[in-house]
Structure 1
């Protein structure tokens, strides 16, 4: 009988994608993961690898304040169905990646590949390249990392757990985009990032870091008036919708644009010790 994790050899390795709609493959075969609540339960295990998750935690994470009429009894039913679906054939699930533990279930990810794990690897390459001064390689790595996203992470999956992970991964995607653009600005690629930053600012209209980068890119591209217009629009939105003034970063960039401070706006990159947040999802 195969031990936990060895069942992945039945038809090839088991792969998951979460940086978009939840998808799974056994080798080259796309797997049907069943109803969305069942997929949400799988996600609640997959994104906590090696951690035992109780039935109550799964119930709360997938259904929230409106549990099904059967209560926690639905959990083992969904687990059984997932074990079968994660195999190419209706084999014994004794070696399933979903392990039954005392008190709950645990996802055994030792032989599983995920796009999230690959994302972490590429981002680490990007940070290493930036810290060594190879900004072009860092931009290439961050571009490859962002290419792993295929729409909204965990799109359409219900429940509080999936929603929290969706927000976390979406925020991390924005962090990666900002890091990439920062390096492009240091490389003098001002014109090529303006359109991308306008798109980001439209999606994240209250994000002051994105607005600050857009102002810097516009200024570096010789569009000082447009940069000042961005500040005016963001400030008006913040005051009218949130009752707050722009924060320190955006005010500093605004003042630098007013006095044409090339050093602050388009100067050399900061040392590695001042690099941006490295926390990975």
Structure 2
């Protein structure tokens, strides 16, 4: 685990006590004080006390800075899993039954692209697509059990699986996702259904949402540059179409939701960049998104606004014309009010060198 000072000369994470490192890790994972208290089995006021000491020792100004520091120092790594098996292991070592220090494996699951899993850093063969869809359903509900019926509905929909499809797939997944030499699997079973063992698995969606939460807090604190950095890192966790190729109603609905989530992140980042005067960066991000989403009128309108801010009125009008043609050819509709209003602003010169993008 990284223990050196960061690039701002702050004291290393090793200056913290083991419990303080646990709290800092949990903060970086997006947990609130009550959740951290539950995870560590300590009173909530004790968590607040640890946070105060963390800020003092590391020279950090507030909770948001602590979350960011957890990522910057490598304690929490977006998309690459926690440094240890669970929050309680972030102190740097865990204890074996004999009392000696041992390193613990961990499982990382990525759904922001084709489904992938890495157990202790090694890729795992997840089997056929339906079996992968079962694991994806569990990964998308990491803090609760998923019932047999919910898995049937989410993975098969109206198609009834032959035989005991769910138990067979879960059995195979449990067998392939055992923790090292131990017999324990990361998939548990209780009276409510199947679920992932808490504290053992990291899903990239949770990392993404933690970064978004930190970005929102930074914006509220007036630090737009930090908000842009964090939101950009959240967007970078996407590796293509989420849950690509997985069958079933759940994968389809989550795929649509996560695609829309990424669109919103890019829009929000561009809005903040424009407010900071970083017009070229906003144009670059929105142009790439517009190529991926040629029928998305809000994206096209925001790109037109950014191009207008950059003095590129002709390019902005070309975006309108291109989008209008695609809407007519693919959907048989004319541009909506937001896109028409964006065109009118460009023609009037309203966006030249001033103003700000609308909220994403």
Q: Same fold (TM over 0.5)?
A: yes
1:140-181: CA deviations, max 9, x gaps? Answer: 111111111122212222222112211111110111011111
Query: Are the equivalent residues in 1 in contact too, given 2:105–2:179 (CA < 8 A)?
Result: no
**Unmatched tracts of structure 2, length 5 or more:** 1-84, 95-102
1:155 to 1:192, Cα distance in 2 relative to 1, 3 A: same
**Contact 2:124–2:176, Cα closer than 8 Å, also in 1:** yes
Structure 1 residue ranges without an equivalent (≥5): 277-281
- Corresponding position of 1:217: 306
> SS at the partner of 1:246?
coil
| Cα pair 2:212 2:234 within 8 Å, conserved | yes
The equivalent of 2:139 in structure 1 is 46
Contact conserved, 2:187 with 2:195, CA < 8 A, in 1? yes
Q: Give the distance between the partners of 1:11 and 1:64, measured in 2 at CA.
A: 37
1:252 aligns to 2:341 (yes or no):
yes
Identify the structure with bigger relative contact order (alpha carbons < 8 Å, sequence gap 6+).
1
Structure-2 separation of matches of 1:17 and 1:175: 20
Equivalence map 1:1-281=2 (5 Å): 11-70=104-163, 73-89=164-180, 91-93=182-184, 96-102=185-191, 104-262=193-351, 266-268=354-356, 276=360
Task: Report the CA distance shift for 1:91/1:136 in structure 2 as closer, same or farther (over 3 A).
Answer: closer
- The superposition leaves residues 59-99 of structure 1 with CA deviations (integer Å, 9 ceiling, x where unpaired) of 232223333332xx121111111111111457544xx4322
The residue that corresponds to 1:279 in the other structure is none
Contact 2:105 2:180 in 1 (8 A): no
Structure 1 residue 103, shift from structure 2 partner: 5.4
Cα offset, 1:23, TM superposition? 1.9
CA–CA separation in structure 2 for the residues paired with 1:87 and 1:216: 52
- Return the offset for 1:269: 7.0
User: How far apart are 1:218 and its partner, in Å?
Assistant: 1.5
Q: Mean Cα displacement is larger for which, 163-172 or 184-193?
A: 184-193
**Would you say the 8 A contact 1:238–1:244 is kept in 2?**
yes
Task: Tell me the CA shift for residue 204 of structure 1.
Answer: 0.8
Q: CA deviation at 1:268?
A: 4.9
Contact 2:114 2:241 in 1 (8 A): yes
Tell me, in whole angstroms, the C-alpha distance in 1 between the residues paired with 2:109 and 2:168: 21
Closer/same/farther in 2, CA of residues 83 and 249 from structure 1, 3 Å limit: same
Matched residue count: 262
CA distance in 2, matches of 1:195, 1:50: 37
Alignment partner of 1:33: what SS?
A: coil
Q: Is the 8 A contact 1:84 1:90 kept in 2?
A: no
Whether the aligned pair in 2 keeps the contact of 1:206 and 1:234 (CA below 8 Å) is: yes
Query: Considering only aligned residues, what root-mean-square deviation do their CA atoms show, in Å?
Result: 2.6
8 A contact 1:125–1:138 mirrored in 2: yes
**TM superposition score normalised by structure 1:** 0.82
Q: Which deviates the most, 31-40 or 204-213?
A: 31-40
TM-score (norm 2): 0.65
Query: Is the contact between residue 11 and residue 26 of structure 1 (CA under 8 Å) also seen in structure 2?
Result: no
SS of the equivalent of 1:146 reads: helix
Say whether the 8 Å CA contact 1:185–1:266 is kept in structure 2. no
Give the CA deviation at 1:54.
2.7
Q: Cα offset for 1:100?
A: 2.0
Q: Give the match's secondary structure for 2:311.
A: coil
